[in-house]
Amino acid sequence: MMTKTITLTVNGTEHTVDVEPRMLLVEFLREQLTLTGTHVGCETSQCGACVVHLDGRSIKSCTLLAVQADGTHVTTIEGLAKDGQLHPVQAMFKEHHGLQCGFCTPGMIMSAVDLLQQHPDPSDSDIREWLDGNLCRCTGYQYIVNAVRAAAKAGIR
């Protein structure tokens, strides 16, 4: 089978690479770019540990081929912090104990950032509904919702 040359921008850096068409975006990010902050949880588009932004919208990178991301801008959890400063949503997760083991956290935060970009003032039910596709087995979700609510109140986009 032929490989395909794709060009995509990840966290502000452009990459032109040859990939097998069957390579998943999450495999490309983790194995070729060694951006291992994006996690592989269920691999069945249910758990949300692999959520990244594709042209600004949250998607599950285990259910997207790398070739489908040709020409796009991808942001991963590694792309949120600027100049050594946590992104405000990351800071709120830390402040409000929105994690325990941390495995779901990168996906949770990427989903939450997209929520606040699209809905700057979400209700609690908006937050819970939006995080429907992100599973956490530690926190019971309450502190995650608190963290997202606090980020919204602080006017974070």
Question: Would you tell me which residues interact with other proteins (CB under 8 A)?
Answer: 1-2, 4, 20-22, 43-45, 48, 51, 54, 57-60, 63-65, 67-68, 70, 111, 114-115, 129-130, 132-133
Judged by beta carbon, residue 83 or residue 114, the one nearer other proteins is 114
Judged by beta carbon, residue 35 or residue 54, the one nearer other proteins is 54
Judged by beta carbon, residue 52 or residue 147, the one nearer other proteins is 52
Q: What is the DSSP string of 1-67?
A: ---EEEEEEETTEEEEEEE-TT-BHHHIIIIIS--TTS--SSSSSSS-TTEEEETTEEEEGGGSBGG
Burial class (CB in 10 A: 0-12, 13-18, 19+), 85: exposed
Do 146 and 95 form a contact (C-beta atoms < 8 A)? no
Distance between CA atoms of 56 and 113, rounded to whole angstroms? 10
Judged by beta carbon, residue 51 or residue 156, the one nearer other proteins is 51
φ, ψ (nearest 5 deg) of residue 24? -75, 155
Do 105 and 113 form a contact (C-beta atoms < 8 A)? no
Residue 129 CB, nearest distance to other proteins (Å)?
Answer: 8
Residue 33 CB, nearest distance to other proteins (Å)?
Answer: 20
Judged by beta carbon, residue 2 or residue 14, the one nearer other proteins is 2
φ, ψ (nearest 5 deg) of residue 76? -110, 180
